[in-house]
Structure 1
């Protein structure tokens, strides 16, 4: 049970990182679709 908090923090960190990657990829794809003028 001593490692339970560590697992929770790790899971939250992984989820947050995955969300940032997905959002970043989405924004990059949106920027690529817009013609640069």
Structure 2
């Protein structure tokens, strides 16, 4: 794995975590509290 590839993977992984957390929060607010 190249250094640029590792950096790109790290940035993509961090972005994926942020999106996942947002989905969990939205899912909890709409799905959990609505029901």
User: 1:7: which partner in 2?
Assistant: 6
Q: Distance in 2 between matches of 1:3 and 1:21?
A: 26
Q: Show structure 1 runs of 4+ deviating over 2 A.
A: none
TM-score (norm 1): 0.77
Please, what is the CA RMSD of the aligned residues? 1.7
TM-score (norm 2): 0.81
Structure 1 unaligned regions, length at least 5 = none
Count of aligned residue pairs for this structure pair: 34
- Larger Cα-atom Rg: 1
- Name the one with the larger helix percent: 2
